[in-house]
Structure 1
Amino acid sequence: MFFFQNSIDSLFEENVPSPLYLLPAEIRNMICHEVIFDGTKTLTISLSETGKIILPPLMAVSKQIHSETYGYIVAALRDPATIFEAKVRNYDAKPLLATIKRISQQTGIAQSELVARTQVGFVGTVDMGNLLVWIQGTIANATAHPIFPFEKMDLPSFSGESVFEGRLSLKSHLISYKEFEQRRELCAWTASAREFLTTLEEANLGVLGRPKGEDWRIESNAAIQAAVFNTFAEWHDIFLQKKTIQARVLGQRERKRVEDEHVYVASAMWQFGESLRTVAQRWTQ
């Protein structure tokens, strides 16, 4: 049974005939196609933050209409041009991953194809537990824990960076930290991390604020690690919301300040990574 075949059954206690059935079948088909595809040749299917497929309103008119229009949706799913727009709340990808897996199993469409056709928008706040599970999962098995397409960074010199990919990604720094830990070089990692956090704190940034984790100055490796990783995650999340931030700021000067602060943090993150790479180069000499 398909994933949404009975998704609206509970809405109807009786199968009440719809006025649409007073029209000839050909006209009903034209109406159904026009409403579902909204005048376009391709279909966009929305997925909620709980992984629920948001069906076109027409499908909720009656069970009979649902049954007739169901075929359009199933056919559209198999069309490579059909795309998905999904919401991920608090970086919890499990509902979306479960839905993609279920669609793949029930339609025969490769999961990798469905992932490539799914555009993600992030909502809510940064939940480091969820984010770390996602990133560590994709490090271990990128097929089972894929990174979906979403808006990437467009800053000068840092285009395409994200929390998952690139030189400024949390993922790359998690891998780097693990390597330093395995080589018992955490003192070098911590020294560079402390310098990075101090740089951001002294800059008194308005957008990012102070480095995340106020106890990082107690010289605890665990506290410094948490402050770095939380700062990376928070800044990337703020960047995804930058259009909202800029919309609240009035005037070109204020918008320029916001952009300058993003560039400043990106440069500090890049320099932090470069200092770690310099240390790592010694291991191969």
Structure 2
Amino acid sequence: MSFFQNSIDSLFEENVPSPLYLLPAELRNMICHEAIFEGAKNITISISETGKITLPTLMAVSKQIHSETYGYIVAALREPATIFEAKVRNYDTKPLLATIKRISQQTGIAQSELVARTQVRFVGAVDMGNLLVWIQGTIANPTATPIFPFEKMDTPSFSGESVFEGRLSLKSHIISYREFEQRKELQAWNRSAREFLTNLEEADLGVLGRPKGEHWRFESDAAVQVAVFNTFAQWHDIFLRKKTIQARVLGQRERKRVEDEHVYVASAMWQFGERLQMMAQRWTTQ
């Protein structure tokens, strides 16, 4: 079944002729093209968080029109300038990946090209299970589990960072953690992690994403590890959506305080990564 197939097709099983078919074919084609492209050469196709594609309403008029306009959409998909705008809920990328795969199979367009033309917007909450599956998947096979384009960080000195890319990313710290684990150096990793969490607690930050708890030296290693990864994930998610800055009207002084706290967290994350990197460099020089 085509990925454009719509459940509304069942309404047209009798194939009732549309008044549109009273027009000459050339004029009908012009109307179809204008309705789909809205005067533009290329189109933007939306994909919901469930993987459903939003198509021009004209395609739902009848099965016959659906069939005729299908060719316009497929032609548009093959245009490099045509883009997708997709939502990913709770960092669950499975619906989007399944839709991209179907489009690739039915149009012959390479999945990598479709991924590059898909702009993602995250909705919902941070589901660490989904996020870890995504990150671990892209570490193991970036082609099968790709990172889609999305808005990057614009914090001073940390531009372009994200939860997936850069020195402040959760991905880089998962890779670092694995290296320490393989070398049986987790004691050193946990020691640095406790210092990182303690520094955030002592700063008494108001931004979300800070760890919960006060005496990290008494917590288990597992609790420390979970807190570090959660802190990185939550902070990136909050900054990406700018909830604490844009979701409510803040005065200039309050907005400056929130922005300063974001920079403070970013600096603490960067320093944590620097300490880990310095320890890892000693392994290569010994």
What range is the shorter-chain TM-score in?
Answer: over 0.9
CA distance in 2: counterparts of 1:163 and 1:156, whole angstroms: 17
2:119 alignment partner, SS class = strand
Greater CA deviation, 179-188 or 213-222? 213-222
Trace 1:98-109 onto structure 2 (pairs within 5 A): 98-109=98-109
1:235 alignment partner, SS class = helix
TM-superposition CA deviations, 1:86-118 (whole Å, max 9, x none): 110000001111111111112111111110010
List alignment gaps of at least 5 residues for structure 1: none
CA distance in 2: counterparts of 1:196 and 1:206, whole angstroms: 17
Over the residues paired in the alignment, what is the CA RMSD in angstroms?
1.9
1:232 alignment partner, SS class = helix
Trace 1:1-285 onto structure 2 (pairs within 5 A): 1-5=1-5, 7-208=7-208, 210-212=210-212, 218-242=218-242, 245-285=245-285
TM-superposition CA deviations, 1:135-171 (whole Å, max 9, x none): 0000000000000000000111111100000000000
Distance 1:40 1:5, change over 3 A: same
Q: Please report the TM-score for the alignment, with normalisation by the length of structure 2.
A: 0.94
Q: In structure 2, what residue type is equivalent to 1:121?
A: R
Distance 1:19 1:241, change over 3 A: same
Give the number of aligned pairs: 285
Would you say the 8 A contact 1:161–1:167 is kept in 2?
yes
Would you say the 8 A contact 2:49–2:87 is kept in 1?
yes
CA distance in 2: counterparts of 1:214 and 1:70, whole angstroms: 59
> How much does 1:259 deviate?
1.5
Q: In structure 1, what residue type is equivalent to 2:246?
A: Q
Would you say the 8 A contact 1:194–1:224 is kept in 2?
yes
TM-superposition CA deviations, 1:61-98 (whole Å, max 9, x none): 22222122111101111111111111100000011111
Q: Please report the TM-score for the alignment, with normalisation by the length of structure 1.
A: 0.94
Greater CA deviation, 32-41 or 6-15? 6-15
Q: In structure 2, what residue type is equivalent to 1:245?
A: I
CA distance in 2: counterparts of 1:258 and 1:189, whole angstroms: 29
Distance 1:169 1:104, change over 3 A: same
Would you say the 8 A contact 2:9–2:60 is kept in 1?
no
Distance 1:113 1:30, change over 3 A: same
